[in-house]
Amino acid sequence: MTPTPGSASSVSVPHQWINATTGRIAPERFSWLQAVVWAQEDQTYQNTCGHGPQHIGDTTLAVAVELARFNPCRPGIETLARRLNRSVRTIKYHLGILRDTGLLAYRIKGTRVSGIGNLASEYVWTIPQAFDAALHLVTRTSDRLIRMVIGIKDAGRNRIKRLACTVQQLLRKRRPRRTLRPNHNSRTTRCTPMRGSSESLSTAGPTSLPPESKLETGEASPPTRGKTRTRRVLNTTGRRFQLARELIEQTEWLNRCSVPRIAWIVRAVADAGWTSTDVRAWLHLRGESRHIRRPSGFLATVLHNAENVLDTPAKRADAVAHWRASLEVARRERIQSVRHHAERFDDVWQQPASPAVRRMVDAALTAAPPVVSYDADQDVLPAVSGVGELSAAEVEAIRDEARARLMAGDTGPISAAIASLGREIACDLYGHDLVLRGLQLMSATRSPLLSLGT
């Protein structure tokens, strides 16, 4: 397809973050891959660096297909390079192409945390506004997706069908395997002899025409063609493995399980015609657990006798409807909670509500630096006092308040505690996981998007 004049565009670095993007969040991976294929056809990428790939090619599509397999989209560059048999620099180039085209946005940028190591970047699949305009899509604002599609005009229906067919071919395409070297010990004849000369005879043999009698009667055999491949129908074992793979991809706590083990566990529901959506709805009805030590054993326990309880498609449809309704209610509650915290806390850091923490912060800010005595003979420094004077209820209240502030994007309490009391006491006060999350957010917000006030 000929590129549209003036269609090339490049997203600036400040707009490559999810809170500043001009596009919309893709609802699922299929729609996002349609936007990637569209960007390749229209050549929307414009290289301004002078080095690296000059356009969106097959390698970019291969990287996008691998990114679509991660949910959440938090791949490691070394992992992508190993799966695609490419170099790390090539993977970085094509990730930059997807960000510059507006197809990827940072949620958290990878960084290095002292004492922990490297943290991978987390991306969000985004669809630029130019795609909606080119496909004649009708959108409206959405709390979860920034904008959501509510319709399409007749002018874009044929093209979106072609994009869907291309995406299906990409998803069905397997990774290329290593090519085998030709076997020189084979007894088959060669078109060109290994030590042949111009005097050697051709192994193709003489070419003869069919007799005219067969041509007159139409009995000449047509040229042989390759057999058309028919779509393979899955048997019982294939359906079990298909259901197991879908559950591992869609369920977070099953992502490290082996496919054969999960296929053996779900054999009863797979034979009964269950889908992955039906299984997830059943897990919701039975009650999901936050702490699962052995995912395969937990799944086997929950699915015991499930095919006899929801034995009809109508019952399974009711369970799926109830599950989706509960997801919608939980989503609205999260949005309402985020709005409540955004209205309650502003950008300026506020003192904690707990009187005990306020006393500790005021004492740390106003007190003079202590004079530390050092004994050269013993070579021992005095120990730093902790937070043992607080009760368990006060510590829990302090952590709940800091966790609520982190949900609104405010790392003020944790950063103030680390700066004034030290990281060790801050970990005792807020907990190691909460301090780690605060450090991760603080490192992620070191971007040109934020302006720090005094």
pLDDT at 384: 40
- 76-100 mean pLDDT: 89
Rounded Cα gap, residues 247 and 262, in angstroms:
9
Q: Are 14 and 449 in contact (CB under 8 A)?
A: yes
User: How much is the pLDDT for 427?
Assistant: 83
Whether the predicted pLDDT of 320 surpasses 80? yes
Range of weakest confidence among 130-139, 178-187, 255-264: 178-187
Closest CA to 37 of 84, 105, 129, 101: 101
Closest CA to 73 of 113, 32, 41: 32
| pLDDT class of 300 with cuts at 50, 70, 90 | very high
Contacts of 335 by beta carbon, 8 Å cutoff, 6+ apart? 143, 144
Report the 3 state secondary structure along 117-178: EEECCEEEEEECHHHHHHCCEEEEEECCCEEEEEEECHHHHHHHHHHHHHHHHHHHCCCCCC
Q: What is the DSSP string of 300-363?
A: HHHTTTHHHHS-SHHHHHHHHHHHHHHHHHHHHHHHHHHHHHHHH--SS----S-HHHHHHHHH
Distance CA 430, CA 417 (A): 9
Return left, alpha or beta for 260; rule: phi > 0 is left, psi -120 to 50 is alpha, else beta: alpha
Q: Which of 243, 235, 282 is nearest to 259 (CA)?
A: 243
Model confidence band, residue 191 (pLDDT cutoffs 50, 70, 90): very low
Split at pLDDT 50, 70, 90, the class of 336 is confident
Q: Which residue has the higher pLDDT, 443 or 396?
A: 396
Check residue 187 and give its pLDDT.
Answer: 46
C-beta pairs of 165-169 under 8 Å, 24+ apart in sequence: 166/37, 167/30, 167/33, 167/34, 167/37
Between 189 and 73, the higher pLDDT residue: 73
Q: Residue 344's CB: how many other CB atoms inside 10 A?
A: 12
pTM for this entry:
0.40
pLDDT tens sequence across 368-393: 555 444 444 443 333 444 566 677 78
Contacts of 189 (CB under 8 A, 6+ apart): 203
Please count the residues of the chain: 454
**What pLDDT was estimated at residue 6?**
37
Tell me which residue of 24, 60, 66 sits closest to 45, measured CA to CA.
60
| CATH code for the structural domain at 13-172 | 1.10.10.10
Mean per-residue pLDDT for 28-47? 87
Summarize the confidence of residues 189-200 as an average pLDDT: 44
Of 25-34, 154-163, 230-239, 242-251, the range with the lowest mean pLDDT is 230-239
Percent above pLDDT 90 for the chain = 23
What is the band of 394 on the pLDDT scale with cuts at 50, 70, 90?
Answer: confident
pLDDT grade for 183, boundaries at 50, 70 and 90 = very low
Task: From 284, 295, 281, 279, select the one nearest 242 (Cα to Cα).
Answer: 279
Mind listing the pLDDT tens digit for each residue in 223-281?
555 556 666 788 999 999 999 999 999 888 898 899 999 999 999 999 999 999 999 99
65 close to 33: Cβ distance less than 8 angstroms: yes
Which pLDDT does position 210 carry in this prediction? 54
Report the mean per-residue pLDDT for the chain: 77
pLDDT for position 402:
84
User: 58, 33, 54: which is closest to 45 by C-alpha?
Assistant: 54
Residue 24 pairs in a beta bridge with 127
Identify the band that residue 303 occupies on the pLDDT scale cut at 50, 70 and 90.
very high
Kindly indicate the confidence band of residue 50, based on its pLDDT and cuts at 50, 70 and 90: confident
Percent of the chain whose predicted confidence (pLDDT) is above 70: 73
**DSSP code for 69:** T
Distance of alpha carbon 8 from alpha carbon 45, whole angstroms: 6
The DSSP code for 368 is P
- Helix, strand or coil for residue 389? coil
Q: Is the pLDDT of residue 435 over 50?
A: yes
Domain boundaries, the chain: 13-172, 236-320, 355-371+385-444
Position 166 pLDDT exceeds 70: yes
